[in-house]
Every structure is written in structure tokens, then in C-alpha cells.
Amino acid sequence: MSDQQVLFQLSAHSLELGGHTVLDAVSLSIRAGEKVALLGPSGAGKTTLLNQLYQQCPEQIALQPQGGGLVDLLSVYQNVFIGALDRVGTCAALWNLVRPLRTHRDAITKLTETLGLETKLWHSLDRLSGGQRQRVAIGRALYRQQPVFLGDEPVSSVDPLQAQMLLDYLLQQHETAVVSLHNRRLALEHFDRIIVMRDGRICCDRAATELDSEALDAFYQESSSPESEQPAPSETGWAITAS
């Protein structure tokens, strides 16, 4: 493996946002062909790290940001098609908004069958559940047809069985993958390298075979802090206050 080309390289990289240190002297190198899982509690800097990696070679990457970067008004088909925009001419792309292009229609229909979305192909996104939306986001990443996949909690909202299957498929379709996860078991079973982050630092970077569930749990317990989860103010409806 070591003869593969280095794709991502960070050496003692730090980043401050709004007075907070979000990345603290992170050093890291990822080669083509590696499948890396990124673990750590919320607020540890996983999303920031993924964004830093994305900027290193954006033209080779299929990115699946948190929330999927979906466009609510467009249909499932169009949302997946967005992945192919750089392979289609401008006029054809605009025409596709009016009338789907035949070749893409066939390919995307097939893809949505894999994703279990075939009945929703022409639904607009705002009519879908969280799990369905996430599968659309995966569909777009797959349809980008790039060698590298960067995913930020790509399967967090789908049911466990489907999560296994989709993750397998994603890893099989991409030569290289860096994926942040909160499910430790998925990380151990599907990836060959695991990086654990805490407070903007890398506190563990080892081959998956060298780790087990308990070893990983230890990293979480040390750092679990009460302020890490904060409810969004608009979500506190009166029902909560009243109870």
C-alpha cells in the first residue's frame, strides 16, 4: 500500500474559528486506496477536518456533507443528477430541468433501485423522510463517480441493516474513502484505518485490526462533557416547557 500516491497531507495543522481552536496541531497523511473511519464525540472537529481535506483536491472528491446538501424543491432524480453536472453540457443540463435526459434517467432509475428509492424518483425532496433524504445524498455522491469519497455521517439516519449495506456499497464504489461515523461497530467492521478525534486533536490513528469496541469506548468516556450537546432554541416548543 505504501507505494500509493499521498492524497491528503496535513502537518501540525491548526485552525481557529470565532476564538475557538477547532483543529489543534493535526498531522495526518492519507494515501490513495485507504478506507478511513473518523470517530469522536460531537464537536471534536470531524466536520472541520473533512472540510480541510476536501479543499486539498476538490476535483477528485464526491463529498457528502452533513444534511446531504440537498435541494428541497427538486425531485429525487434531479438531486441525484446534480452529481453528473460536470459531465453534461450547459444546454443539456438546463433542458434536463424541463425534461430528464434519457441516458441519465435510465442510470439514475437503476441507482435508486439499489438505494430503495425507486418509488420516490419523481417526488420532491421536502416530501421525504430523514432516512430517504440521506439515501438521496448517497445517490448523488455515487453519481459523482469520483475516486475519492468524503462523507460526514453519511448513514446516520438510515436503519442499521441498510446502513451496513449502503456503507459497503459506497466503499466498494470508491477507491479511497474518509468517513466520519458515530457508530463504532460500523467503523471496526468496514474500514481498515480508524482515526479518533477529541477537542480538535487526533488522539488515536491506528489500523482497525489493532482496535476493538472497548478500546474505542475509552476515548469517548474520557472526553464526554455536558456542554457538548445544545438544543437548538427554536426546537424548545411549549410542550417541553410544560412537561
Distance CA 161, CA 208 (A): 21
Give the span between the Cα atoms of 76 and 197, in whole angstroms.
34
* Least distance to other proteins, CB of residue 46, Å: 13
Closer to other proteins at the Cβ: 126 or 189? Answer: 126
DSSP β-ladder status, 201-207 and 193-198: antiparallel
At closest approach, how far in Å is the CB of 69 from other proteins?
Answer: 4
The secondary element (H helix, E strand) that includes residue 92 is helix 90-98
Q: Which three cell numbers stand for residue 243?
A: 412537561
Least separation in angstroms between CB 138 and other proteins = 11
The residue (of 6 and 85) whose beta carbon lies closer to other proteins is: 85
d(CA 114, CA 170): 11
Cα separation, 21 vs 38, in Å, equals 19
**Stretch 176-215 residues interacting with other proteins (CB under 8 A):** none
Residue the block writes with cell 477529541: 198
Q: Is the dihedral of CA 23, 29, 30, 32 positive or negative?
A: positive
- List the one residue from 15, 93, 165, 203 that touches other proteins (CB under 8 A): 93
Beta strands, E only, 40-134: 61-64
Q: Is 154 among the residues that bind other proteins (CB under 8 A)? A: no
CB of 118 to other proteins, least distance (A): 22
**Single residue of 4, 25, 29, 97 touching other proteins by CB under 8 A:** 97
List binders of other proteins among 31-90 (CB under 8 A): 43, 54, 58-59, 62-74, 78, 81-83, 85-86, 88, 90
Residue numbers of the site for other proteins (CB under 8 A)? 17-18, 43, 54, 58-59, 62-74, 78, 81-83, 85-86, 88, 90, 93-94, 97, 137, 140-141, 144, 230, 233-235, 237-238, 241
